[in-house]
Structure 1
Amino acid sequence: MTMPALSLDGVRVVDLSRVLAGPFCGALLGDMGADVVKVEDPHVGDESRTWPPHKDGEAAGYLVNNRNKRGIAVDLKAPEGVEIVRRLARRADVLIENFRTGTMEEFGLGWERLAAENPRLIYCSVSAFGRTGPRAEGAGYEALMQAFSGIMSITGEPGGAPVRCGVSFLDLTTGILCAFGIVNALLYRDKSGVGQRVDGSLLETAIGLLNFQAEGYLLAGTVPRALGSAHPSLSPYRNFCCRDGQWVFIAGANDRLWRRLVTALGLAPMADDPRFVTNIERVKHRSELEEALEQAIGGHDRDALLQLLEKAGVPATPVNTVDQVLNDPQTGTRSVIRRMRHPKLGDIPVVGMPVAFSRLTPDVRRHAPLRGEHTDEILAEHAYTAAEIAALRAKNVVV
């Protein structure tokens, strides 16, 4: 039996989202074979196009999160533009949108209306707070939601200011979870014959990622606090500075590794000190423990220390910069960095699907589209004649 090249071959996606969470969701579906049509505003386009850094006018953030898509530019403020999206949605399997709650309904493109025209449609809404509740209509960005969710309060050094995480992990993880939700809705549709709405939010992603820290409060009333690079439930498990000013992360995450660590550092008596003999006691006496380790580690240069700890069987790593990890030989052996042929930039590297499969090859088959690059092609596929397309373009409904 001939198997499809990719698991989502034949799945049609209309991606009305902008910036990060929604576009990343669409890119993941495109990686797995879905035909993703990105719908942009014809005047300004996706605002991530304006985010630096750029190369020859092309934004890195736009390129990476809109791979494997075709592009159409449509004015949703024009009735003819709304009709175009409705026509796309009638034939689509999935629609993704991340407008503020109520905006799609104002356009005439709400879930109820589109589902009435296409009962098999999976309609995925991405928002800050979710589509119900007293904050449903509130706008939210990554950093705002890191702050609102409490995550910012536990990020940073003890006693210091709350700190934004350096990665937009709420947006990106919301995109992953929405892609997961869409695929599950497609599987459910195979059994039931009907589509459904998928409601993803940065708030619920944040609470889901708080995980054991949220559960610790719900179960035991423990409010987590900022610990820098340390772990609330493990010690030692944090960054340490070496004599040469370089940093290492050391994971003495259990009693066995703790004993190896202090032996390697010449602190063997600490292994049997009642304050440190078990992880529970080490967490209780974190300050005294870390002070002793800081002094010992501060006597070693980083490379020599890493060799010492590797020989002792203690997990440790240099704290790399982004360029260092991208140029590391291990990264080069994996498939996450792929190649993409771009009409302006030529052959460029691009971050792709971060999961490898034994029978699937989710490569980058299409470059991130130029604004309106496939407008005529997509409209023709949906029964617009050349004359109708020309008339829409003359009225600036499409680009």
Structure 2
Amino acid sequence: MRAEIEAAAGEIRASLALLRRHLDWDNALRRLDELNALSEDPQIWDKPEKAQKVMRERTHLSDAIGAYRAMERQLDDALTLAELGEMEGDEGSIDEAQSQLMTLKAEVAKRELESLLSGEADQNDCYLEVHAGAGGTEAQDWALMLMRMYTRWAEQHGYKVEWLEESPGEEAGLKSATIEVKGHNAFGWLKSESGVHRLVRISPYDSNARRHTSFSSVWVYPVVDDNIQVEILDKDLKVDTFRASGAGGQHINKTDSAIRITHLPTGVVVSCQVDRSQHRNRAMAMDMLRARLYELELRKREEVAQAIEASKTDIGWGHQIRSYVLQPYQMVKDLRTDVETSDTAGVLDGDIDRFLSASLAAKIHGGQDEQA
């Protein structure tokens, strides 16, 4: 058999073995049997919230087990095709088997990464905030470029994006903006994007065409459901109403009912202006605040050093996670994983999978010590 086929099969077997360990195979099968039995009990729907939780876990586990078994079958089928091709001298069958193995190898690698998305909130929708650093219009334009990058990534992966808050810059760009990214594993994929992003380019706003360095911060936190209890006391809140100042039409409505809530003990600030109803904006802002405080607690438990409160963090050199250089050369480099690419246009158009995958891969090779 061709060396390439043997090598690919070996890598796929190794990845499948890792997947099996991540799934905790025997316990996963037992748990699926338990969930199937629970789902067949008509009394489970007496408590709808519990029933929905059981059904979500059952679907997730059933999909993971089914996918693993399907990939095992595909490996066996491809190797059988390759062996028959060898026996019959059929180069076409051998080429087809090799092609199937290459496709399967990519699928298994993706599943291996996704197997790490098993933290408490990894499967949840998420909020993503972008805040411009110091530097006026240049930094605010960079914040808009980042938000476009994330919305493009979300759209390309079938996620739904809802704009919740948008504070435009004085001349161009954004001072800040918040979106909700809706879809399976949205938080798990995007959570590693929290941090400071640095841009180096010739500024289109500088008449002398000088090179500028700009910073913007990104904060990602999960949408939490009603089963997660986060205590918020009224006395700890400062609530302000203001007129929405965003573009309107395309993203949000201009209203007099925008809401800003400050959680005084932590300094966390959230804003919402998506609706003409002050009541609904307040409800959504409270959901965002619960999510921020929950993420803050998650980070404490995981002993992550980076502080979550953007308002207490300098948006500058010391907290960078990624550098985007457009002049004098083209390079985007992640400072945590050392992954880099010269395809700056592709990255800014949403092609950030290589960076997201590298963050998850680092967890695999690090023995999952960072897993929630």
Normalised to the residue count of structure 2, the TM-score between the two structures is 0.23
Give 1 or 2: higher strand fraction. Answer: 2
Work out which structure has the larger RCO, using CA pairs closer than 8 Å and 6 or more positions apart in sequence.
1
Give 1 or 2: higher helix fraction. Answer: 2
Normalised to the residue count of structure 1, the TM-score between the two structures is 0.22
Larger radius of gyration, structure 1 or 2? 1
